[in-house]
A and B are shown apart, each in its own frame.
Chain A
Amino acid sequence: MIDLIWLIPLLPLVGFLVNGLGRNVLPKSLVGVVGCGVVLISFLLSCGVFSTIYTLRQAGESATFTQPVFDWIGAGSAQVSLSFLVDPLSAVMLLIVTGIGFLIHVYSIGYMQHDAGFAKFFAYLNLFIFFMLLLVLGSNYIVMFIGWEGVGLCSYLLIGFWFKNSSYASAAKKAFVMNRIGDLGFLIAVFAIFATFGTFEFAGIFPQAANMTMGDTTLLLITLLLFVAATGKSAQIPLFTWLPDAMAGPTPVSALIHAATMVTAGIYMIARSNILFTLSPITLQIVAAIGICTALLAAAIAVTQNDIKKVLAYSTVSQLGYMFLGLGVGAFTGAFFHVITHAFFKALLFLGAGSVIHAMSDEQDMRNMGGLKKHLPVTYLTMLIGTVAIAGIPPLSGFFSKDEILAHAFAHSKVLWVLGFMGALFTAFYMFRMLFLTFFGQFRGTSAQASHLHESPPTMTVPLVVLAVLAALGGFLNVPAALGGQHALANFLAPVFAESVEKVGEAHLEHSTEYVLMGISALAAIVMAVVAYRQYVSKAVVPVADDVPRSGLSRLSYRKFYVDELYDTLIVRPLNALSVFFYRKVDRGGIDGVVNGLGSATGESGKGIRLLQSGNVGFYIFMMVIAVVALLAYGVFNG
C-alpha cells in the first residue's frame, strides 16, 4: 500500500481535469460522482497507509517512508525531486484532508445543487485537495511550497467563486495578497535553509539541524521567516483580516479551506520543522505571544458579530491562535491534537451554518433567525454537539485538546495560562450566543423565509451526523495520563517530535495541578453557557440593528477593532499614492516622456531641417560654396 502513495494526490488531480474540462458537457450527477469518488478512493488509500504506519508504530518502529517519483530540478548542487514522505504526522493529516474533504464534497452536492457553476466548483475543490495533499506529502520544502502556493490559489478561486459580485472578488484578492506576503517569508526561509544546509529534503535538514546550538542566529532568522509564512496562511496577527472576508465564498469552501485544512497548513509546517523551532526559543516565544494575542483579539471581536459565518470565522482565527500558542509552549502534540479536533467540530459548525443558511433562503444575519430548532432538528442537534465541543466541555473532543494546550501553557508561564483561560471564556460565550440566537426563541425572519424552512436533504445532513460523532468522540484519541488514558496520539507521533523533546525535555505537571486546571476550565465553560442562556433565551435579548450607535468596547468589538481601517491607512493608501506617483511622474512623465520626446525631437528637428529645402537653387549653390570652402580649409590647414 505504501507504494501507492503517489496515487493519493494524483486522483484528485484527475478529478479536477475531468470535471474542469467537461464542465459544460457532463451531467451534474456524473460530476458529483467523479468529484466525490476520487476523494473517496484517496481516503481509502490513506486509510491503508495509515494502518501500515499504525502497525509499525505499535511494534515500536519509527515508520518513515520516502517515495521519490521523479527528479525535477538539477541545477548544480540544488537537487530537487518530486518525492513523497509518509510518517505518522503526514499519515494523520492525510486522513483528515481526505476524510473531511470527502464529507464536504458530499455535502456540496446538496448545497450547490442549484448553482450554474456546479462542475467548476467540484473541479476547484478537487484541485484544492490535490495541492493540499502535495503540501502534506512533500518530502522537501520545495514540494511543500508548491502545495502551499497551490492552496492559496485555490482559496482565491473558491472565495471568489461568485465572481460577478465585486465585493466577493475583492475579498478573494485580499486573501490572495495577504497569503502572498506570507509566501515571501516562506521563500526567503527556503533559500536560507538551502544556503545553510545545502539541501531541501527534510531527511537531510533535520539531522543536520539537530547538531546546531540552541539559539543559533541563522536558525532564528529561518524560523522567524517561516513563522511569517505561517501567519499569512493560518491567519494570525498581522495577516488575519483576510479570513473573515473569505466568508464571501460558498459555505462548503469555508468549511473545507478555512476551517479544516488550508489554515492548518501553517501549524503543519511548523510541526514538521519542529527541530528548527525548538532550537530558536526566541521564535517560540514570539509564536506563543502572537498566538495568544490573536486568540484574544478574535474572540473579542466574535462576541458582537451578527453574521453567523463571521462568528465562525473569528472563532477559527481564535482557535488557530490557540494552536500557535500550543506550538509556542512546546506542546507540539497538543497543538496537532487541537488541529484534528478543530477540524472535526469547525467543519461541523460551518456545514451546519450552511444548512441553516440554505433553509433560510440565503439569510445569514442571526438577528433574523430564531426558533429554528423545531424546523431543523438534525442541524440543531449536530450544531449543539459542535458548540459544546468547541466550548471545551468534557467529555467532548474540544475539552481534551484545549486542555492539553492550556496545561503546557501553565507549565511554561502562568500569564499565558490566564490569558488562554480568558479566551476560553469568550469562546464558550460567543459560541453559545450563536447557538441560542439561531435556534432558540421566536422566529424573527420574514414570512417568505418561514414558508421555505425545511431540513436539508440527506446529502447535507449525513456528513453533519458523521462529523458530530467524530467531534463527540475525537477526544479519546489522546486522553492524558492524568485521566487514566494512554496518550495514544502522543505516542503515535513521538518519532516526529523526538529530537525536540530531547532538547527541551517534557513538561511535567503534577496530576493534582492538572485536575485543578481541568476542573476550572470545564466549570468556566459551563458557567459562560449559562450566562449566554440567560441573556439570549431567558431575557430574549436580540442584538441591536446596525444603525443604532454602540458605545465603547461594544463598538470597538463590532467594528473589528478597526484593524482593516488601520491597514488601509497605513499600507493601502500610501501604496496607492506611491503607485499613482509612479504612474504619473515616472511612467507617463519620465519614461514615456523620454520615448515620446525622442520621437518628437526627431520630428521637430526634421521640421527644422526641412526648411533647408527651400527649392531655391541659389541657396543651394551658396551652401555648396560654403561647404567647399570649409572642406578645403579643413583639409589644407589641418589635415
Chain B
Amino acid sequence: METIVQEIQGVPLNHYILFCSLIFTIGVIGVLIRRNVIIIMMSIELMLNSVNLLLTAFSAHSGDPSGQVFVFFIMALAAAEVAVGLAIIVMVYRNTRSVDINALNRLRG
C-alpha cells in the first residue's frame, strides 16, 4: 500500500485540477445537451463527484482531513437530493406523462 501511495504522490496537483475540471465540464455539457430530466440529474451527480475528487486530492496533498470530511457531507447531501429529486420527477411524470424538460415551461413569461 505504501509504495503504491508513494508512487502515486508523484502526480502533481495541477493534473488533478485539470482532470476534475474536465469531468466537471463534461457534466455541464451533459446538462446543456440532454432533454431527458433523469439524464440531466445524472450529469449533476457527475459534477458533484468531480468536486469530491478534487477536494480529496487537495486534502491528501496538504494533509488536512477536513477536505475529506467535507466530501463525506457532500455525499450525504447528494443522496438526499437524489431522493427528493427523483420523487419530484415521478410526480411530474404522473401529471404530464413526459420527462422532457422542454415540456415543463409553465413558468413562461
Contact = CB atoms under 8 A, between A and B. Distances in A.
Question: Within the complex, are A and B direct neighbours (CB within 8 Å)?
Answer: yes
B31 interface: yes
Contact of A618 (B28, B102, B107, B109): B102
B106 A615 contact: yes
A612 interface: yes
Contacts of B106: 615
Nearest to A629: B28
A625 B29 CA distance: 10
Contacts of B28: 625
B108 A615 contact: yes
Interface in A612-631: 612-618, 621-622, 625
A617 B108 CA distance: 10
A195 interface: no
Contact of B105 (A610, A611, A612, A614): A614
Contacts of A618: 31-32, 35, 101-102
A616 B101 contact: yes
Contacts of A622: 32
Interface string B10-27: 000000000000000000
A612 B108 CA distance: 9
A617 B101 contact: yes
A614 B107 CA distance: 8
Contacts of A614: 105, 108-109
Interface in B78-109: 101-102, 104-109
The CB with the most chain B CB atoms within 10 A, among A612, A613, A615, A622, is that of A615
The CB with the most chain A CB atoms within 10 A, among B28, B102, B108, B109, is that of B109
Nearest to B29: A625
A295 B86 CA distance: 106
Contacts of A616: 101-102, 105, 108
Nearest to B102: A616
B107 A613 contact: yes
Contacts of B104: 615, 617
A618 B109 CA distance: 15
Interface residue range, chain A: 10 to 19
A622 B106 CA distance: 19
Interface in A52-99: none
Interface residues of B, number: 12
A262 to B, nearest CB: 70
Contacts of A613: 107-109
Nearest to A609: B109
**Interface class of chain B by DSSP:** loop
Contacts of B31: 618, 621
A248 B53 CA distance: 102
Contacts of B32: 618, 621-622, 625
B98 to A, nearest CB: 14
B42 to A, nearest CB: 15
A190 B105 CA distance: 76
Interface in A571-630: 610-618, 621-622, 625
Contacts of A615: 104-109
Contacts of A612: 109
A621 B102 CA distance: 13
Nearest to B35: A618
A622 B109 CA distance: 18
A625 B108 CA distance: 20
Contacts of A611: 109
The CB with the most chain A CB atoms within 10 A, among B35, B106, B107, is that of B107
A608 to B, nearest CB: 11
Nearest to A613: B109
A37 B1 CA distance: 129
Nearest to A607: B109
A626 to B, nearest CB: 10
Interface in B46-84: none
A180 to B, nearest CB: 58
A618 B28 CA distance: 11
The CB with the most chain B CB atoms within 10 A, among A610, A612, A613, A618, is that of A618
Contacts of A621: 31-32
A610 B104 CA distance: 18
A612 B104 CA distance: 16
Nearest to B28: A625
A494 to B, nearest CB: 92
A617 B34 CA distance: 11
Contacts of A617: 101, 104
Nearest to B109: A613
B101 A610 contact: no
A621 to B, nearest CB: 6
Contacts of B108: 613-616
A613 B106 CA distance: 10
A616 B37 CA distance: 12
A615 to B, nearest CB: 3
Contacts of B35: 618
Contacts of B107: 613, 615
30 contacts: A610-B109, A611-B109, A612-B109, A613-B107, A613-B108, A613-B109, A614-B105, A614-B108, A614-B109, A615-B104, A615-B105, A615-B106, A615-B107, A615-B108, A615-B109, A616-B101, A616-B105, A616-B108, A617-B101, A617-B104, A618-B31, A618-B32, A618-B35, A618-B101, A618-B102, A621-B31, A621-B32, A622-B32, A625-B28, A625-B32
Interface of A: 610-618, 621-622, 625
Given A612-B109, A613-B108, A625-B28, 14 more contacts: A610-B109, A611-B109, A613-B109, A614-B105, A614-B108, A615-B105, A615-B109, A616-B102, A616-B108, A617-B101, A618-B101, A618-B102, A622-B32, A625-B32
Those 10 A-B pairs whose CB atoms lie nearest each other, nearest first: A613-B109, A615-B105, A615-B108, A610-B109, A615-B107, A617-B101, A616-B105, A621-B31, A622-B32, A625-B28
